[in-house]
Amino acid sequence: MSGPIITIDGPSGSGKSTISRLLADRLGYVYLDTGAMYRAVGLKAAKSGLDLDDPASLEVLLADLDLQLLPGSADTVVMMDGRDVSLEIRSAAMGMMASKVSAYGPVRAKMTALQQHMARNGEVVAEGRDTGTIVFPGARHKFYLNASAPERAKRRTAQLHELGMTANYQEILAQIEKRDHDDSARTLAPLRAAADAVWIDCTKMDIPAVLQFMLDKIREET
């Protein structure tokens, strides 16, 4: 039997990545960053120059996609078509591209299958938008992490600055609000808390407090 899976879903900038990485570290689990996978597809789409409003174009793009996630001690290393794209996919523009391509059925079907395969042995902390609802509906522990849009924009702006990228708070806030809307309103696997997920509003919580809360919940539910 495979080990447990923990899912952490929530909107952009809610702190999912930081918390998921720390939680995986604490438990000795693998961290699965599903957003990185959609970002990689977004990057490939951006570079391809294909017409993204034509679903057939995306099928072509997916057919020769070679995507690998190498879990590391810091950020996940993302290899696409033999190239390390880990930093390139982190830009705000790639966040928007990821959101766009992620609404297409063939993209979601391929990413979902890849994610399920990557987690086949369990002991995984998966984060994204639909990990608790669609990808791992049977996960043992599920969390839904949220924070106010201004707080998330503040955190995301600081994070991009730390990566050496330019980021303007007002622009990031507008992008976050657009992504919140698009990710939640789409028909396929919309951003949604699973019915059995534990909600955490971390607007006023720091990272250690969120981590402790999750560890306590996991212990309680085990």
The Cα angle at residue 12 between residues 139 and 95, in degrees rounded to 5? 110
Q: Between 92-101 and 169-185, two packed helices, what is the crossing angle to 10 degrees?
A: 10
- Judged by beta carbon, residue 161 or residue 216, the one nearer ligand DC is 161
Piece in contact with ligand DC (CB under 6 A), picked from 71-79, 124-132, 146-154, 170-178: 124-132
CB 16 within 8 A of CB 23: no
Of the candidates 2, 8, 36, the one whose C-alpha atom is nearest the C-alpha of residue 23 is: 8
Shortest Cβ 110–ligand DC spacing (Å): 12
Cα distance between residue 115 and residue 135, in whole Å: 7
Shortest Cβ 41–ligand DC spacing (Å): 9
Question: What three-state secondary structure class fits 15?
Answer: coil
Site string for ligand DC, 4-43 (x = CB under 6 A): --------x---------------------xx--xx----
Q: Is 76 in the site for ligand DC (CB under 6 A)?
A: no
- Judged by beta carbon, residue 145 or residue 218, the one nearer ligand DC is 145
Report the residue from 21, 129, 141, 142 that binds ligand DC according to the rule CB under 6 A: 129
Shortest Cβ 219–ligand DC spacing (Å): 26
Shortest Cβ 149–ligand DC spacing (Å): 14
Site string for ligand DC, 191-220 (x = CB under 6 A): ------------------------------
Shortest Cβ 97–ligand DC spacing (Å): 8
Question: What three-state secondary structure class fits 78?
Answer: strand
Task: Lay out the sheet containing 67-70: strands in order across.
Answer: 67-70, 77-80, 83-84
Question: What three-state secondary structure class fits 207?
Answer: helix
Q: Is 146 in the site for ligand DC (CB under 6 A)?
A: no
CB 211 within 8 A of CB 19: yes
Shortest Cβ 98–ligand DC spacing (Å): 4
